[in-house]
A = this chain, B = another copy of it.
């Protein structure tokens, strides 16, 4: 039933046709979006990657084509020849709405059953069904635009990096399992019985070895793997823009990466971001925004009132400070009247999800100060608090008292939540900033030891070197994150390039020399033979594209994503495999564990 292409050659893409093509004969190919019969005329919307154009089959032009056109249904694949004509009833909603094509020849290249999902952006079916029929889901204009946009981002990044002397080098996918970091995907080796490869969580060690080898400037857009529980918006495999450079300090890395981001925003969004980007030390980010990835599109900054309330009559505040905690607040400037008592109770419920025990508040209105805690505070104390926040009529002050981590976390999220409720988060505003000077370590309470905040190859700041042994919690790292609208796009650091310092670092992390050599011996060995100072960064490409396309999930910008349980309803992987194959790999399934 289906016809072959024969010698027909496509002359134009559907969405590119316009008034400049009027009276031309064109050859088009694509999918039937819909068909309407109007007696002697059949109207069809033909769709390809570039858009839709209206086709008319007229019995008087070609009875043969008309007869075939009577058979076509939605999603049939057709090829046709026809003449472009000016349209009488212009369709202003369609880029090709000023023209239509009168067909004089038609081939049906492929029939189609009724698809299980509609090929329309707003088709509201379950994600599972969308993923099962992903090849149909990807026919939706929005999904096609997302993938084309992703291609463009990768292309612009690659060309920028090439233009700036970076060399793309492919690193291995079958690598060595290391116990640091997230859980690895493992691959049994057939020719090395009982041994396993690991799929890389990142090319970190290889890119550092490339610096040792003098490649000078490396990049790679590369798949990485983490076998984590797919809560939130994660995928077992994800794509990094991975960069490393030699003979650089923090400023050098930041500066070339700002120019990279500038180019990406300019060439994919036509947005000029202002350089240099804002840079903010971690400590300042925490104190002002309660977050190491602050959304700086709006204010509502945190301020401490410890000095004011440490001896006040409000027990909750005073006791918290006595016990080493913090009292901090934010000012929802000028929006006090938008939050009723009920709304504030909801905000209190919200901060409780971040561990806060409550939310104190002060509202400043024409009638004066309204606050459940005012009766516990002296007038001086109240005035000082209001002064601290430049409080004015119409303001709403919100406070959390708790241990510092809870205060930062709950207020950091609260300011974003309030801004969201106030409609202040503009998707089309892009505020990028660097957060720098991260702590070198964080204390892992489960493991009862310091772990690397970034990773164990991150260099301490020169001025904090001595703290490595004396006060590791105060040591800062030459580490930086790039943050867009409150979301971390990527991060990196200047690395340790001396074997001795690397061993001090491992020691601070509680590793013995033996353990360190067992795990990272080849890196320590490599560092013995002349290692340049080096550093780099890695961006999450999926997340970057998600943000730039305004998508709600990274699954919207990945062609064939996995579901929450790391499977695919379409290809049905993972799957049970033949025991013979497992025998060859020297493994057995063992479901008892």
Q: Would you list the 10 A-B pairs with minimal beta carbon distance, nearest first?
A: A138-B213, A112-B530, A176-B573, A195-B574, A75-B530, A189-B574, A583-B593, A588-B590, A135-B213, A135-B212
Which stretch (A53-61, A260-268, A555-563) binds chain B? A555-563
Which one of B175, B210, B533, B593 lies within 8 Å of A584 (CB-CB)?
Answer: B593
The answer to the question of A308 belonging to the interface, with a C-beta cut-off of 8 Å to chain B, is no
Min CB–CB distance A66 → chain B (angstroms): 21
CA distance A588 to B590 in the complex (A): 6
Complex: A171 Cα to B10 Cα, angstroms = 27
Interface centre among A144, A236, A575, by most chain B C-beta atoms within 10 angstroms, is A575
Dominant SS among interface residues on chain A? loop
Q: Which B residues are CB-close (under 8 A) to A239?
A: 170
Having A31-B530, A174-B237, A196-B575, one finds 4 other A-B pairs with CB under 8 Å, namely A75-B529, A110-B532, A170-B559, A198-B577
Nearest B residue (CB) for A527? B110
A170 touches B216 (CB 8 A): no
Quick check: is A21 within 8 A (CB to CB) of the other chain?
Answer: no
A131 to B31, CA, bound (A): 52
Instruction: For the complex, give the distance between the alpha carbons of A223 and B187 in Å.
Output: 16
List B contacts of A213 (CB < 8 A): 134-139, 144
A575 to B173, CA, bound (A): 15
Closest to A188 in B: B186
Q: Pick from A150-158, A317-325, A411-419 the stretch touching chain B.
A: A150-158
Is the CB–CB distance between A560 and B174 below 8 Å? no
Residues of B within 8 A of A269 (CB): none
Count residues of A near B (Cβ-Cβ below 8 Å): 131
* Contact between A215 and B138, CB atoms less than 8 A apart: yes
Tell me how far the C-beta of A428 lies from the nearest C-beta in chain B, rounded to whole angstroms: 25
Asked whether A354 is an interface residue with its Cβ less than 8 Å from the other chain, the reply is no
Inter-chain contact B572/A110, CB cutoff 8 Å:
no
Tell me whether A593 and B586 are in contact (CB under 8 A): yes
A567 to B185, CA, bound (A): 17
- How close is A242's CB to chain B, nearest CB, in angstroms? 13
> Smallest CB-CB separation from A206: which chain B residue?
B560
A142 to chain B, nearest CB (A): 13
Q: A196-236: which have CB < 8 Å to B? A: 196-199, 205-206, 209-210, 212-216, 223, 225, 227, 229, 236
Of B176, B223, B574, the residue contacting A192 (CB under 8 A) is: B574
Whether A565 pairs with B192 at a CB distance below 8 angstroms is: yes
* Residues 250-292 of A at the B interface (beta carbon under 8 Å): 252
List, in ascending order, chain B residues with CB within 8 A of A571's CB: 175-176, 205, 522
Alpha-carbon separation in the docked complex, A356 to B167 (Å): 48
Does A497 lie within 8 Å of B110, measured CB to CB?
yes
Contact A209 B558 (CB under 8 A): no
Question: Which residues of A (39-98) have their CB < 8 Å from a CB of B?
Answer: 47-49, 75-77, 79
Closest to A248 in B: B5
Chain A residues numbered 121-147 whose CB sits less than 8 Å from any CB in chain B:
133-139, 144, 147
Q: Give the CA-CA distance A526 to B77 in the complex, in Å.
A: 13
Could you tell me if B565 and A191 are in contact, using CB atoms closer than 8 angstroms? yes
Query: Which residue of chain B has the shortest Cβ distance to A112 in the bound complex?
Result: B530
Interface contact B192-A566, CB-CB below 8 Å: yes
Do the beta carbons of A4 and B533 come within 8 Å of each other? yes
Q: Does A177 contact B (CB under 8 A)?
A: yes
A190 CB-CB contact with B under 8 Å: yes
Q: Are B570 and A522 in contact (CB under 8 A)?
A: yes
Alpha-carbon distance between A216 and B462 when the two chains are bound, in angstroms? 53
Most B-side CB within 10 Å, residue of A32, A138, A189, A530: A530
Interface positions of A from 429 to 473, Cβ below 8 Å from B: 462
Judge whether A498 is part of the interface by a CB distance below 8 angstroms.
yes
Q: Complex: how many Å from CA A179 to CA B577?
A: 9
CB-CB under 8 A from A212, the residues of chain B are: 135
